[in-house]
Chains A and B, each alone.
Chain A
Amino acid sequence: MKVSRRQALRGTAASAAALASGVFRPAIAQSEPIRIGYLPALTGPSSSTGIGINRGTELAVKEINAAGGIKGRQIELIVRDTQSDPTKAVNGATELTRRHKVQVMWGPLNSGEALAATPLIARDGVPQVHPCWVDALTDPKKYPLAFRNAPTNQQIGGAANHYVVSILKANKVAVVSDTTGYGTASLDAYVPMLKSLGATVVYQSSVEANNPDVKPELLRMQAAGAEAIMPWSVNAGFLSRIINTRAEMAWDVPIVGQTTLGSGQTKALLKKPEYWEKVYPNNFRNCSYDASGQLPPRTVEFVERIRKAGIEMSDTLLWWIALGYDGPRLIADAIREAGSAPEEIAGYWNKVKGWPGVYGTITWTPELHDGFQGSEIVMVQANSLREGAFVLAPGYSG
């Protein structure tokens, strides 16, 4: 059939206009792969999390595809490395939603990038699940398609604060962060929370992560009578300096805070291994050894699978891998049970109750898109690190 030039032009203009308005959604053939957009930070300053999560994600996708995919359709994971840069995250998100027309977005994995990318992903009507902690990243009214399968900053801080005040019974607390967005935001959020628990914050400050000398800060904490130090930073160098300096000062106070306190990278930067005593990072019940040294059964089985797949665990954290593993499975389950249209996926997620992830048990409602349960956040002993997981901290019963 001959198409006149005018018809062709009109057709092009119409589709251009439709695409521009973001309404046009092509019908998907039943055998076409399911395209999942994925925005990790694999390089750049905040990449250690991304590298760990990536291992879990790749494993999950491989397993699902090997088992025949989702209703016979293979998963195509389309990756764009954000380089820990919000600008690249915006470029990448747009490329994934507009050019590759992904059905679902997994990520971004860092808060700074998610803050920029989430509004754009929402505008394009693409369902999104992400594991970022900054509180403002979910809003069922503004972003009805965005869900979080990890704790919020409030939950994390709450668990740590609870441990310090109620279990360690330390009433004078020093809170310190680095000068990144995550660090300063955490500091701002947690100090009032501590005060509302009845504790006195005797020191609060943000310190540059690269400063080789944190001794003045610790001396000030000590002079103010701090009974516990709570550092909030993902920078292993910064955290290791605090731990080293505490030991050099022979100051016996617990350090309670960010999960990275327990990472292999932090450990490598300690001057003596015994400095790692009395350091209690956040971690997650499902990825921690209980008092008898056992992981939960689901996790034990997961670790077996990781080992069989030859995935390295000693230079990262188990919960990162588990988190990365859960993400694609949440997506797969939604598509399998409900369908691949945005409202179908979101509809399924809105009703998820107690979804059994390796990392966390997820429950979402139309009013609450933060699916992680606060009770699953625990404190662990940093120096009990074994194959990426830790033993629960003393006095910790939940």
Chain B
Amino acid sequence: MLVSIVSYGLALGAVYALIGITYNVMFTASRVFSFTAGVTGMLGGVLGALFIDRLGMPVIVGFVATLAAGAVLGIITEVLTVRPVLKSLDQHLYVLSTLAFALMIQQLTAIEWSTEPQPFPRLLPIGSGLFDQQFWLPMVACAVTIVGLEWLYRRTLIGRAFLAIAEDNYAARALGLPEQRLRIASYALAGVIGTLAGFTGAEMLLAYFGNGPLLNFYGFVPVALGGMGSNRGAVVGGLALGLFQQTANFMVGGIFASVAVFVVFIVVLLVRPEGLAGAATARRV
């Protein structure tokens, strides 16, 4: 029992953490949260099944194609739903534009792909039981992403440029940093991370359009708990959420497990709105 809770909990938690990181990368680049993180994850699974199963591509090719599609999706998100509203005085339009876009993608998937969960192919011919790839694939993906992002932000010039744009927009532009292009690149990166999450998690979650809202919510919880923009917080939050969810499933089962997660989420947020590891809100005046 414990073994099952830990293995599924950590694996799902890693998927949630990756979606949380997707949120964070988009937030860091533009100071807005996008509703599209969840559907990006969902498409990781659906496109993976489409490319590998239906179109018969080899696993590696399908994988790369899915990530590429994720990057494209990220760029479209930025161009279509974020950039136009960043200029506007109304700060909250981005919630609506990204929500609309996410809904469009989700409905399109439901109609064109299927409303039922579809099988996701077995990716590697190795592993079973406790070390089944459905468990360690997401965790490896999560670790690689974290390490990769740390290296990007701290060691490379472009990563530091990303951080500069997020930290102080005006100063960065004054220094000549191409803000627009950097933001597009950030969103493309976020798209890749999102589809990576969905792809590696799809052996558990299957290729299903309903994963969109599921990942949207459960991927946001790590961000809320770990603090906006904090990737480490997202990982901790995601793993904790995964373990808590599986424990709740085991203890109270079914319906009440999801209620338990929601309630804990809301309570924690009300007690500490900036998250357990986050910084206080920015200056308003």
Contact = CB atoms under 8 A, between A and B. Distances in A.
A26 interface: no
Contacts of B249: 211, 213, 216
Interface stretch (A44-52, A125-133, A137-145, A282-290): A44-52
The DSSP consensus for interface residues of chain B is: helix
Contact of A237 (B111, B116, B246, B254): B116
Interface string A197-238: 000000001111011110111010000000000000001110
B117 A237 contact: yes
Given A48-B116, A179-B255, A269-B119, A213 B206 contact: no
Interface residues of A, number: 26
A389 B8 CA distance: 36
Contacts, number: 70
Contacts of B5: 216
B1 A269 contact: no
A265 B208 CA distance: 13
Contact of B4 (A219, A235, A271): A219
Contacts of A248: 129
A225 B120 CA distance: 33
B169 interface: no
B164 to A, nearest CB: 40
Contacts of B4: 213, 215-216, 219
Interface string B248-264: 01100111011000000
B52 interface: no
A12 interface: no
Interface string B98-132: 00000000000001000111110010000001000
Contacts of B273: none
B176 to A, nearest CB: 48
Contacts of A91: none
Contacts of A43: 111, 115
Contact of B12 (A179, A212, A219): A212
Contacts of A265: 116
A186 to B, nearest CB: 15
A212 to B, nearest CB: 4
Interface in A149-197: 179
Contacts of A269: 117-119, 206
A248 B116 CA distance: 23
Interface string B185-221: 0000000000000000000111010110010000000
Contact of A212 (B8, B111, B122, B250): B8
Given A207-B253, A208-B254, A213 B117 contact: no
Interface string A258-278: 000000010011010000000
Interface in B1-21: 1, 4-5, 8, 12
B158 to A, nearest CB: 36
A248 B206 CA distance: 17
A219 B251 CA distance: 12
A212 B205 CA distance: 6
B255 A237 contact: no
Contacts of A215: 4, 8
Nearest to A248: B129
A43 B205 CA distance: 22
| Residue of A48, A212, A216 with highest tally of chain B CB at under 10 A | A212
A268 B118 contact: yes
Interface string B79-112: 0000000000000000000000000000000010
A312 B127 CA distance: 37
B41 to A, nearest CB: 14
Given A213-B204, A213-B249, A205 B254 contact: yes
Q: 9 closest Cβ contacts across the A-B interface?
A: A237-B117, A212-B204, A216-B250, A213-B8, A215-B4, A207-B254, A269-B119, A206-B254, A268-B119
12 contacts: A179-B254, A206-B255, A208-B254, A208-B255, A212-B8, A212-B12, A212-B205, A213-B8, A215-B4, A217-B253, A237-B117, A248-B129
Interface of B: 1, 4-5, 8, 12, 111, 115-119, 122, 129, 204-206, 208, 210-211, 214, 246, 249-250, 253-255, 257-258
